[in-house]
Structure 1
């Protein structure tokens, strides 16, 4: 339990930082005079942590969980100090990049360390605890950030990381001291592969993020980012095929269980993060909710996910099986998202019920996909396999927000609404919806709300269609007995 406590602290740090900043962005932009690049305070962290996650997985397999996780915590702590001391918006964005590079290791290495100390049969239950930490961070982050900014200063949303990070560092160093320092053989770290992967993925993610902010896809700088990123990723694939000890073993992705689970996790977070952004906008613009109540209406979704993960973990411990859980969750998700398209956003209770169903569908898939992936690879590759699942989740979230936001902008433009690109990094949708809300309840506002609702409905149906890919893949998933399961469980699987 000491090990689990330390790892949960590390996971809490990474999860809290993704939610605590957004609520105080306007005040930060006001104090540092940086409204034009405000959105990048969040995007910089998400992109950096996404890029770093699979690299941390490989390093933890080579150098050991304890040293790599300690490094991630120290980098996160130093970057938090830099964020708190930032005097300009560019300084804050650079510090957030460093903080993201540390945060990328907090979650993936912690989950891999859980795999080192918990048998596979029991692991789903502990992954349910991880989902619970995520839920707490998602709900508490905006509240804590708002109170700190109101009563102290926005800088305290970063200062608060110091005692948590120091406690996590001391606990992790003490709790993981008995874990092996490495895989027992010499490794050569593929620095060129890590550089190509980081550079290429950064270019693609920055391109997608700019699209989600409403920038023109045909701008020369956007196309340069996309072209350069794709070229670097192609070189990365070439490098990994020839490297003696690649950063991401491409052969692992040819294992059907690993590939299917990574895709389903990608689709889970493609939907989850996008819904977390788009549903509050829909509640405000179409349903007429205030900003604070719109955020609170996401609580049923946020609470249902760890509950679904807890159920999945218990069922895996009892049965030793993961495929039925993934199949139920992946089949239910597109149906629920399609139902969201036709539920009146003003119907609070019915919307909450549908969101609970979506949260349960996603929650069932999270621990089952992770445990299935860890079960499909040798123990010495658990770190990079776990990092691949974490990377798939984070990549799905980043791509989902960018793609679905871009589709929504296109739908609004097609309907005749004036949605024009904005200079700098300001989010075009947020700017547009602030203008809509300022219209009040007149006839013009009613027309705009109806137009927006048609766009949201089409968007949710398109999102549901994308989710249909998951159950089609899970059907092809080959279930294997969880390592450490009793013989009778193996017989039941057969």
Structure 2
């Protein structure tokens, strides 16, 4: 027998996972007051901000970290290590939340995050900092996935869009505004303050969430945990993301190290697939992706966060290479993007609440993003107003997709599977963030090197970036720099065009999604079950 489940809409048959108990506490939203729901949402938004902020807040602080800790060769792993850990942790937290209750898992994630933030702030060396950041990502992944799953516990499906809009907006604003916050803290205090700032936010989030979630249901049935599946998934995804990240740092796709990493990925993921077919309680029920709504919505979230994280890195990089604005100035120009995302999330959530549907709203957002990114590719980087308009539109389109896709996933599964379904959606977002920036940076480096003028033919893509940003280790005269400017502009035009094509895939996929009604009643749990032999 297959041990995966096919998660279908509320009115259709459901193929269940053999061995999984149907006993699961009912959702609370029929008994919570508006004030109680608001208290829960505030705590969840703080948790989301904590997890998302640390994905990008260190980016502007990296040069100072390298100077203080003498570890330039490990610098990229301060960001990549965190993103990889977040990606592999999210589905595990979702499953554990379904098994042991989301209140205890959220508290655990916040505690891990705070302890590792202290370790990061006190780091005496670069290897120590990288290790602390990886452990911090294990906490950050729980913050994001468990917080979003709790929405399904305290809010009815019809109202879920509005609150998911708040949550998605908080996540996106934290992700995009991280570089600006990191730059200000580093400039006026110290790079260590990008970690110290987590303590007051985390303690408030821990206090509010512990207090607000006392009535959250806790499963009474203790079930086995798929430890082999979790370990195989961690190995498979970590080796994949490490290999892609190395490419983004200039390594060849087919160098010996990457071939070993990708080989390990294939072996681990094949073993993971086999394990999930036989596990009594699979860590990721792969049959979930047999449901069209889940598969498409998770892909849309994956693509959306390719845009969120890659644009938050590529736009400032383009401005610093082609204009006279510094790190702070380029980070400030991301404000339209960071403001557009919560506005779009709020609009998308409100429209879902009003209409009770999500497909058309989702499609509008999916169409706006590729148009905005393609326009950005051909906008003069010196033109402030056109750039602001494009980034605002992109943020609006991304924001609209976030709550609609998350609610679509939650609405199409039974309540007892909401935790793992939400975690899988969050995992796809984190995977998009980690893979997207690695791949697009790799393509940017390749484009810079391929189109370099004869006067800089020996330069690598990384050296061209350093030369255009005035790095003293790569000296070029004014004439060569002028020639390189054309190369840089063409390279970014190519990368943004590729990014727009990727974004357009969301619109094409969204045409095939099923537009189910978002009701006010709890999800049905008495639907007929079938087991696939």
Query: Quick check: 2:305–2:429 contact (8 Å CA) kept in 1?
Result: yes
Total equivalences in the alignment: 481
Q: Distance in 2 between matches of 1:8 and 1:98?
A: 22
Shift of 1:123: 1.1
Partner of 1:66: 103
RMSD: 2.2
Q: TM-score, normalised by structure 1?
A: 0.92
Is 1:207 aligned to residue 207 of structure 2? no
Shift of 1:321: 0.8
Partner of 2:156: 119
Shift of 1:439: 6.9
Query: Quick check: 1:123–1:371 contact (8 Å CA) kept in 2?
Result: yes
Shift of 1:46: 1.0
Q: Deviations over 1:55-74 (max 9, x none)?
A: 11111111110111111111
Shift of 1:216: 2.3
Partner of 2:134: 97
Residues 139 and 479 (structure 1 numbering): CA distance in 2 closer, same or farther, change over 3 Å?
Answer: closer
Partner of 1:376: 412
After superposition, residues 223-262 of structure 1 pair within 5 angstroms as: 223-262=259-298
Q: Which of 39, 48, 52 is the equivalent residue of 2:85?
A: 48
More moved, 148-157 vs 361-370: 148-157
Residues 312 and 483 (structure 1 numbering): CA distance in 2 closer, same or farther, change over 3 Å?
Answer: same
Q: Distance in 2 between matches of 1:484 and 1:247?
A: 29
Is 1:88 aligned to residue 125 of structure 2? yes
Query: Quick check: 2:468–2:481 contact (8 Å CA) kept in 1?
Result: no
Q: Distance in 2 between matches of 1:233 and 1:185?
A: 29
After superposition, residues 16-415 of structure 1 pair within 5 angstroms as: 16-138=53-175, 141-182=178-219, 184-415=220-451
Query: Quick check: 2:177–2:338 contact (8 Å CA) kept in 1?
Result: no
Query: Quick check: 1:213–1:428 contact (8 Å CA) kept in 2?
Result: no
Q: Deviations over 1:464-493 (max 9, x none)?
A: 22222211111111111113179xxxxxxx
Q: Distance in 2 between matches of 1:109 and 1:219?
A: 38
After superposition, residues 5-24 of structure 1 pair within 5 angstroms as: 5-24=42-61
Query: Quick check: 1:207–1:222 contact (8 Å CA) kept in 2?
Result: yes
**What SS does the aligned partner of 1:67 have?**
helix
Shift of 1:135: 4.8
Q: Which of 472, 485, 502 is the equivalent residue of 1:449?
A: 485
Shift of 1:418: 4.4
Query: Quick check: 2:302–2:430 contact (8 Å CA) kept in 1?
Result: yes
Query: Quick check: 1:216–1:421 contact (8 Å CA) kept in 2?
Result: no
Q: TM-score, normalised by structure 2?
A: 0.86
Q: Distance in 1 between matches of 2:201 and 2:336?
A: 27
Residues 439 and 52 (structure 1 numbering): CA distance in 2 closer, same or farther, change over 3 Å?
Answer: same
Q: Distance in 2 between matches of 1:284 and 1:151?
A: 21
Q: Deviations over 1:171-193 (max 9, x none)?
A: 222211111112x4342110000
Residues 317 and 428 (structure 1 numbering): CA distance in 2 closer, same or farther, change over 3 Å?
Answer: farther
Partner of 2:526: none
Shift of 1:332: 2.3
Shift of 1:310: 0.4
Where does the alignment leave 5 or more consecutive residues of structure 2 unmatched?
A: 1-37, 523-533
**What SS does the aligned partner of 1:23 have?**
coil
Q: Distance in 2 between matches of 1:429 and 1:177?
A: 55
Residues 107 and 397 (structure 1 numbering): CA distance in 2 closer, same or farther, change over 3 Å?
Answer: same
Query: Quick check: 1:419–1:428 contact (8 Å CA) kept in 2?
Result: no
Where does the alignment leave 5 or more consecutive residues of structure 1 unmatched?
A: 487-494
Q: Distance in 2 between matches of 1:449 and 1:467?
A: 27
Partner of 1:431: 466
Partner of 2:528: none
Residues 139 and 464 (structure 1 numbering): CA distance in 2 closer, same or farther, change over 3 Å?
Answer: closer
More moved, 60-69 vs 83-92: 83-92
Q: Distance in 2 between matches of 1:26 and 1:480?
A: 49
Residues 123 and 93 (structure 1 numbering): CA distance in 2 closer, same or farther, change over 3 Å?
Answer: same
Query: Quick check: 2:467–2:475 contact (8 Å CA) kept in 1?
Result: no
Query: Quick check: 1:375–1:483 contact (8 Å CA) kept in 2?
Result: no
Q: Deviations over 1:314-356 (max 9, x none)?
A: 1001000100011111122222222122111111101111111
Residues 276 and 145 (structure 1 numbering): CA distance in 2 closer, same or farther, change over 3 Å?
Answer: closer
- 4+ runs deviating over 4 angstroms: 417-422, 427-430, 435-441
Residues 44 and 257 (structure 1 numbering): CA distance in 2 closer, same or farther, change over 3 Å?
Answer: same
